[in-house]
């Protein structure tokens, strides 16, 4: 059974600071996704990571993947209030298209 | 929202009644999915479809059935709703032949279901 764990579950940060969200998964994976969800809204795709060592950046967010360690990180640089949201990682196991989600990290950026 | 609509957006029903949720897409994507979202659990896959009349179970399929008679519509039915099925339900779509092979899933706006 594929398990996906995120930590921390809750994160309160000051504006301008840097921090990292971690996503661990239990079995070999084909792809890893990061999503953002604002309160009461749907999920928005942020990144798709395919291979070991993959790194993608969009604005103040950077995601990386280490398939050997079964670990992905989402790094936030110089946080701003607009980044307040819940972030999910999700993993696809080899051979099927079923996404398994982590429980999410609720990020709050404090002015 | 990638041409995905869900109906109804909100529903309150009573235990034991049947409920059908509809997902409609205009993207002609082959795959469609139903998830439920509950606090502390993230999103969990209920059922998915990889083509018209082709469906498979997800991790929390008990108490739910699905049907897909057209590419654009994927229906989720709760035959006899229970309070444990109170949740937010999201539909998603994907196209394995497009988007660079990522098969990225795009999510609908969600349906908030309350079972009293």
Tell me the per-residue pLDDT of A62-87, one tens digit each, with 9 for 90 and over. 999 998 999 999 999 999 999 999 99
Residue B107 is nearest to which of A42, A50, A102, comparing CB atoms?
A42
Instruction: Check B102 against A101: CB less than 8 A apart.
Output: no
What is the CATH T-level fold of the domain B4-111, as seen in this structure? Immunoglobulin-like (2.60.40)
Q: Count the Cβ atoms, other than its own, within 10 Å of residue A10.
A: 11
Instruction: Check B42 against A103: CB less than 8 A apart.
Output: yes
Cα separations in angstroms, A36 against A53, A105, B84, B94: 22, 10, 26, 17
Q: Return the residue of A nearest to B102 by Cα.
A: A48
Interface membership of A88 toward B (CB under 8 Å): yes
Query: pLDDT by residue (tens digit) across A9-61?
Result: 999 999 999 999 999 999 888 789 999 999 999 999 999 998 778 899 999 99
* Residue A53: predicted pLDDT: 80
Nearest chain B CA: its distance from A39 CA (Å): 12
Evaluate if residue B1 carries a pLDDT over 70.
no
* Residue A93: predicted pLDDT: 79
Residues 27-86 in B contacting A (C-alpha not used; CB under 8 Å): 31, 33, 40-45, 48, 50, 58-59
Cβ density class A64-74: b for 16+ within 10 Å, e for less: bbebeebebbb
Instruction: Check A99 against B42: CB less than 8 A apart.
Output: no
Q: Which domains does chain A show, CATH number per domain?
A: 4-110 (2.60.40.10)
């Amino acid at each position: 059974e594929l398990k996906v764990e995120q930590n921390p579950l809750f994160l309160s940060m000051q504006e301008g600071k840097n921090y990292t969200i971690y996503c661990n998964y239990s079995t070999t994976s084909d792809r890893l996704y990061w999503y953002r969800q604002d309160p009461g809204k749907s999920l928005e795709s942020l990144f798709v990571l395919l291979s070991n060592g993959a790194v993608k950046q969009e604005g103040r967010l950077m995601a990386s993947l280490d398939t050997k360690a079964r670990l992905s990180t989402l790094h936030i640089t110089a946080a701003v209030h607009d980044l307040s949201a819940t972030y999910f990682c999700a993993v696809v196991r080899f051979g099927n298209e079923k996404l398994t989600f982590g429980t999410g990290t609720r990020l709050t950026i404090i002015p | 929202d990638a041409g995905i609509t869900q109906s109804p957006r909100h529903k309150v029903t009573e235990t034991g009644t049947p409920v059908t949720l509809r997902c409609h897409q205009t993207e002609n994507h082959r795959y469609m999915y139903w998830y439920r979202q509950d606090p502390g659990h993230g999103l969990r896959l209920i059922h998915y479809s990889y083509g018209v009349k082709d469906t498979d179970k997800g991790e929390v399929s008990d108490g739910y059935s699905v049907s897909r008679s057209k590419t654009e519509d994927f229906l989720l039915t709760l035959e006899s709703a229970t309070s444990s099925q109170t949740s937010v339900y999201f539909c998603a779509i994907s196209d394995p032949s497009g988007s660079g092979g990522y098969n990225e899933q795009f999510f609908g706006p969600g349906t908030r279901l309350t079972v009293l």
